Structure 1
Amino acid sequence: MDVILLERIARLGGLGDTVRVRDGYARNYLLPTGRALRANEANQAKFEAQKAQLVARNEERKGEASQIGETLDGKTFVIVRSAGETGQLYGSVSARDISDLLKAEGYSVSRNAVELNQPIKSIGLHKVTIALHAEVSIEITANVARSQDEAERQAQGETLTSADAIYGYDEDALRAEDLGGAMFDEDEGEEPRREEAPQIGEEE
């Protein structure tokens, strides 16, 4: 479908541009949110008549987005999910999940503003870009953990998929213990030597 953009949209075009987009994207997002008009002579004339107002509205939205961005940029949000010992989630965290979380925290952020190339499928600290406006993008951190306690430990730099976190022991200590169990000749690097027991009838 060809549409006339009523504001600048990242990776698509600027205000007043006529671009071709997928029908679903136009019907489900661009048209109902007032970001575009169907491209035809009547709407082109309508756009030209309202162009000054549209430019002013775009600047106003940009200013609002900048204000939200100043309070949101760099913040960390905890998302508690069930996961296995290796940190793989039993499910995933989607752009909609992050949008719903931000809305619950008082930030009006649509799902389309959350730039997540693929759902988050593991625990950890994940950087997520939020496009509040075509010219205003900020970054938040999604702290995905199995509990609030684990989220706090992750925030302090702990890796919760290590053997120590899972089983309660230190991988480095165990490795050192295993290596210390074998005696090597320091000069030759040979295998451990075993003394043979004296044979019957042989003098010791």
Structure 2
Amino acid sequence: MDVILLERIGRLGQIGDTVRVRDGYARNFLLPSGRALRANAANQARFEAQKDQIIQRNEERKADARQIGDQIEGKTFMVVRSAGESGQLYGSVSARDISDLIGHQGFKVGRNEVALQQPLKQIGLHEVTIALHPEVEVIVKVNIARSAEEAERQAAGEDLTSYEAIYGEEEPDFGGDENAMDEDRDDDDDRQPIDEDAEAESESQPS
């Protein structure tokens, strides 16, 4: 489907551009969200008549997004989840979870504005991109831990998925040089096998 963009959209184009997109993307996102119009003569004339207003509204939305972005950029949001010893979550933290988490701190961020490729499934500090506007993106940190106390330790730089954190001791050093071990194996391979039958025959011969 061909659409007329009403705001700049990454990888698609600028305000006023006519671009071709997948029908589902247009019907489910671009058109209902007011980011585009179906491309036809009537809508093209409508866009030209309202172009200045559309550009002004976009600048206002960008300014609002920048204001929120300035407040949340670099902030850390903590979430407590159940996880195994290795740090693997029994569930996951989704884009909606992160949107709600930020919302509870008084900042309005939509689920679609959380640029998360897949849910987070491991404890730790995760950097997440928040796309508040096509021209405004910020990074926040999500501190996923099994308790508030563990979240504080992670914030201080401790890796709770390390061997020492899991088992309460340093990872044992079994020593040995792998290269040297390989050389020893090569030396063993170079040795000729003993022919026991030939050796026995030699001993049986009279001197």
Q: 2: CA distance between counterparts of 1:164 and 1:34?
A: 52
Aligned to 1:114: 114
Shift of 1:22: 2.4
Query: Quick check: 1:146 aligned with 2:146?
Result: yes
Q: 1: CA distance between counterparts of 2:63 and 2:46?
A: 25
Aligned to 1:17: 17
Percent identical among aligned pairs is: 69
Residues 123-138 of structure 1 mapped to structure 2, 5 A cutoff? 123-138=123-138
Aligned to 2:42: 42
TM-score, L = length of structure 2: 0.78
- Bigger Rg over Cα: 2
Query: Quick check: 1:99 aligned with 2:99?
Result: yes
Q: Write out per-residue CA displacement over residues 34-53 of structure 1, whole angstroms, 9 at most, x where no aligned residue.
A: 11111111111111110000
Gaps of 5+ in 1: 180-204
Q: 1: CA distance between counterparts of 2:13 and 2:91?
A: 35
Aligned to 2:170: 171
Three-state SS of the structure 1 residue aligned to 2:121 is strand
TM-score, L = length of structure 1: 0.80
AA paired with 1:171? E
Three-state SS of the structure 1 residue aligned to 2:107 is coil
AA paired with 1:12? L
**Residue 16 and residue 94 in structure 1: after superposition, are their counterparts in 2 closer, same or farther (change >3 A)?**
same
Shift of 1:24: 2.7
**Residue 109 and residue 50 in structure 1: after superposition, are their counterparts in 2 closer, same or farther (change >3 A)?**
same
Aligned to 2:74: 74
How many aligned positions are there?
A: 175
Give me the CA root mean square deviation: 1.7
Q: 2: CA distance between counterparts of 1:149 and 1:39?
A: 55
Q: 2: CA distance between counterparts of 1:9 and 1:109?
A: 18
Shift of 1:119: 1.8
Q: 2: CA distance between counterparts of 1:83 and 1:23?
A: 40
Q: 1: CA distance between counterparts of 2:156 and 2:50?
A: 52
Gaps of 5+ in 2: 176-207
Q: 2: CA distance between counterparts of 1:4 and 1:102?
A: 32
Q: Write out per-residue CA displacement over residues 15-63 of structure 1, whole angstroms, 9 at most, x where no aligned residue.
A: 0111222233222222222111111111111111100000111111111
Q: Write out per-residue CA displacement over residues 63-103 of structure 1, whole angstroms, 9 at most, x where no aligned residue.
A: 11111111110000011111111111112222222112222
Q: 1: CA distance between counterparts of 2:3 and 2:114?
A: 23
Three-state SS of the structure 2 residue aligned to 1:91 is strand
Shift of 1:107: 1.5
AA paired with 1:150? E
Shift of 1:160: 0.8
Three-state SS of the structure 2 residue aligned to 1:171 is coil
Q: 2: CA distance between counterparts of 1:11 and 1:77?
A: 30
Q: 2: CA distance between counterparts of 1:100 and 1:151?
A: 19
AA paired with 2:170? E
Shift of 1:162: 2.4
Q: 2: CA distance between counterparts of 1:45 and 1:151?
A: 55
AA paired with 1:11? R
